[in-house]
Amino acid sequence: MSLFRKLFYRKPPDGLLEVSERVYVFDCCFNTDAWQEEDYKGYIGGIVSQLKEHFPDASFLVFNFREGEKQTQIADALSKNDMTLMEYPWQYEGSPLLTMEMIHHFLRSGESWLSLGQQNILLMHCERGGWPVLAFMLAGLLIYRKQYSGEQKTLDMIHRQAPRELLQLLSPFNHVPSQLRYLQYVTRRNAASEWPPLDRALTLDCVILRSLPNFDGEGGCCPLFRVYGQDPFLVSDQTSKLLYSTPKKGNILRAYKQIECELVKIDINCHIQGDVVLECISLNDDMELEEMMFRAVFNTAFIRSNILMLNRDEIDMLWDAKDRFPKNFRAEILFSEMDAAASIVAENLSGFEEKEGLPVEAFANVKEIFSSVEWSDPNSDFALNVLQQISASNIAQENSSADLQHRVEISTQKQETIPRKELAGQSTVTNATVSTASSEQALTVSAGIELMEPKGGSISPSTPAQPPPLGLAVTSSVIKVHPHPPPTLHLSASEPSDPSTVKETETI
């Protein structure tokens, strides 16, 4: 088969790098210089003309990784060509990664497109500076399709297609360790009955540092932790936010020396769910100047035995900071199952100031409950939960204050932390073409897909139950993929073939 491909191999058009069969990358992704608008349009136009000449019967899908929400150059350049453009963010909380929902959607979309027919071609593009996330996502696609095995080997192969110094020019941090962790999540798909698994709500109890790094010049550090991610209690708001930061006031922060202690245990007690970014920062003597020690990105669904152990090769750090960490350095992140009911009770009761009956804060809580209800879902039992909470509150108001805590516990025990996958919206597959008038919104989508447009104007699929069949006749379109609001796609396509029948691609 390899000999057959070599005999009939056709050189790709100028400006494209062939990474795998029918998968190409725009070589502008390897450039750190800004393009003038007219030069860029000429560059894209030339490549499109060559593609149509080389592959007259082909259909094209372009994946673009963008910065921000403004109209991208590639969208403008492809607006008059018969190509579908699907855009993704290029970072998650400062790391060149995407959430597992977004990664899952990308992998299923790419696999579906390539599996629909030999005439379908996939093009990869990123805005200036987006090469790290493009390389990561492309490595994930090759592993997902079982064309390559081995996370490190696959990612290194992709990185070799660009100048060696490009990663260091684009970021002062080496994010490869967290990228490899997420590629391992993709590899686990082959052994799991359900992938990705449902999100788990956990409590990040503490972090234990063994063999302290040297960040104060005297063989020690003053560690401060910050945690970013989705708040598991705010079901209606899935955006990432700062969940925890070590207070600078009080006696929590202190400097530690290697000669004084072999390990340091820092309590955090932060509720987390889904994709989490953990930052460890060292403060100077006056507790003002911050210096990043390391970062780690992980997903709670893949935590095993409620512990994540990381050595110095498994944390993200500055490119030149490795020598500051002893060879036997280790960060142990300990978790526990989150008791949702107890946590809500503790949070609600802590701020109560009782004044004849229920406190004023209770009315704000009721307002928040109503604002987060998904009334449009006929199968949801949230309305029942709301009525039960209101009923419990009325009973508490009529009874003595000594009975208040007991009533609140009865009410809150019926609430559960809902995995974000259960919030998936519904859509229908038709033979109609959906379009909008604005070029900044999702423009025109054919291929027998009906996309429901959420408020705000952009199409926002995440974690579809099945992959989108983006094939057949496709007109010029732009699909902006956001992690929020909740997903609006429910599509279908076939799974990749059995791993025993697939061999590594030898196009490179």
For the cut 90, the answer to whether the pLDDT of residue 180 exceeds it is yes
Identify the CA nearest to 344 among candidates 396, 289, 287, 405: 405
- Looking at residue 253, its pLDDT comes to 87
- Looking at residue 364, its pLDDT comes to 43
Return residue ranges of the chain for CATH 2.60.40.1110: 201-337
- Looking at residue 448, its pLDDT comes to 32
- Looking at residue 33, its pLDDT comes to 80
For the cut 80, the answer to whether the pLDDT of residue 420 exceeds it is no
The pTM of this model reads 0.70
- Residues in Cβ contact with 348 at an 8 Å cutoff, skipping those fewer than 6 apart: 361, 365, 408, 412
Tokens coding 7? 């005999």
| Domain at 2-168+177-191+439-496, CATH class | alpha beta
Find the mean pLDDT for residues 425-434.
32
Tokens coding 458? 């952009």
- Looking at residue 70, its pLDDT comes to 79
For the cut 90, the answer to whether the pLDDT of residue 423 exceeds it is no
Tens digits of residue pLDDT in 477-486? 666 666 554 3
Q: Let me know: does 443 contact 478? Beta carbons within 8 Å.
A: yes
Identify the CA nearest to 392 among candidates 356, 355, 365, 352: 365
- Residues in Cβ contact with 496 at an 8 Å cutoff, skipping those fewer than 6 apart: 111, 115, 144, 145, 146, 502
The region, left, alpha or beta by phi > 0 then psi within -120 to 50, assigned to residue 185 is alpha
- Residues in Cβ contact with 212 at an 8 Å cutoff, skipping those fewer than 6 apart: 219, 220, 221, 256, 257, 258, 261, 264, 326, 329
Return residue ranges of the chain for CATH 3.90.190.10: 2-168+177-191+439-496
- Residues in Cβ contact with 115 at an 8 Å cutoff, skipping those fewer than 6 apart: 493, 494, 496
Residues in the chain: 508
Which are the catalytic amino acids?
126
Tens digits of residue pLDDT in 343-368? 444 444 334 333 344 444 444 444 44
* pLDDT, averaged across the chain: 74
For the cut 60, the answer to whether the pLDDT of residue 388 exceeds it is no
Confidence class of residue 319 from pLDDT cuts 50, 70 and 90?
A: very high
- Looking at residue 218, its pLDDT comes to 87
Residue 342: in which H helix or E strand, if any? helix 340-350
CATH number of 201-337: 2.60.40.1110
Find the mean pLDDT for residues 377-399.
45
| CA triple 253-255-256, angle to 5 deg | 125
- Looking at residue 166, its pLDDT comes to 92
HSE, side-chain direction, 13 A CA sphere, residue 408: 23
Alpha helices (H) along 151-211: 151-159, 166-170, 176-187
